[in-house]
């Protein structure tokens, strides 16, 4: 059986509530955006796509080897930003940090991924169809004024299975991997 797997940082419920609270004025103003459920709030590190169940244990071993010596760390929120591809995605960005870069680098080495792509931690919060240039510029300006203020302690990463039930995305935890504590 195939599972749709991704490696992510799950957000605790108190952080999800903070995000919703800080975005409430924008949510009230732009009801036409497709606001994502807080169930979908996580920082995706890698998307593995469809993986056969027989390959999950070897994948978990690779993850464990990749993070065995990485300490827990903090991420600090930045601001609301937008990304345009097939649609406009609104996301909460985080300041880049050396521990986060080390985590991604070591996981890439463990997975034998060689690329020069720069990872930027973010949490998608809403989507919208591609707007006119004028709408896009207005939305971009509005988003730039939304500074998000919270910090997130990263003590573990989680292998998630994405399941769609009744047209709603839900994540099942496959396995959690603890980062070591410096204390």
Is residue 123 a part of any domain in this protein?
A: yes
> How many domains would you assign to the chain?
1
* Confidence grade of residue 16 (pLDDT, cut at 50, 70, 90): very high
The burial of 170, by beta-carbon neighbours within 10 Å (0-12 exposed, 13-18 middle, 19 or more buried), is given as middle
Task: Tell me the pLDDT band of 182, cut-offs 50, 70 and 90.
Answer: low
Q: How does pLDDT run across 103-143, given as a tens digit for each residue? A: 999 999 988 888 878 889 999 999 998 778 888 888 888 88
Q: What percent of the chain has pLDDT over 90?
A: 70
> Domain limits at 17?
2-178
Gap between the Cα atoms of 33 and 127, Å rounded: 6
Residue 170 lies in a domain: yes
Q: Which residues of 122-152 are buried (b: 16+ CB within 10 A; e: fewer)?
A: bbbbbebeebeeeeeeebeeebeeeebebeb
* Domain annotation covers residue 81: yes
Confidence check: pLDDT of 22 > 80: yes
* Inside any domain, residue 183: no
CA angle 145, 146, 151 (to 5 degrees): 135
Q: Is residue 104 part of a domain?
A: yes
Rounded distance, CA 121 to CA 55, Å? 27
Q: Does residue 79 belong to any structural domain of this protein? A: yes
Do the domain assignments include residue 70?
Answer: yes
Q: Which CATH number do you get for residue 134?
A: 3.90.1140.10
Residue 169 within a domain: yes
């Amino acid at each position: 059986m195939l599972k749709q797997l991704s490696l992510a940082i799950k957000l605790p419920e108190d952080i999800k509530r903070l995000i919703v609270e800080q975005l409430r004025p924008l949510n009230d103003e732009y009801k036409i955006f497709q606001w994502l459920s807080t169930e979908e709030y996580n920082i995706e590190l890698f998307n593995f796509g469809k993986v056969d169940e027989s390959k999950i244990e070897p994948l978990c071993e690779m993850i464990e080897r990749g993070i065995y010596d990485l300490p827990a760390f903090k991420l600090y929120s930045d601001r609301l930003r937008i990304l345009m591809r097939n649609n406009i995605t609104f996301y909460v960005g985080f300041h880049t940090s050396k521990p986060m870069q080390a985590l991604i680098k070591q996981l890439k080495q463990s997975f034998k991924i060689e690329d020069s792509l720069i990872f930027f931690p973010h949490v998608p919060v809403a989507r919208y169809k591609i707007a006119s240039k004028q709408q896009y510029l207005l939305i971009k300006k509005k988003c730039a004024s939304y500074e998000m203020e919270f910090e997130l302690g990263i003590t573990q990463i989680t292998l998630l299975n994405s399941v769609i039930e009744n047209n709603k995305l839900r994540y099942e935890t496959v396995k959690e991997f603890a980062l070591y504590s410096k204390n």
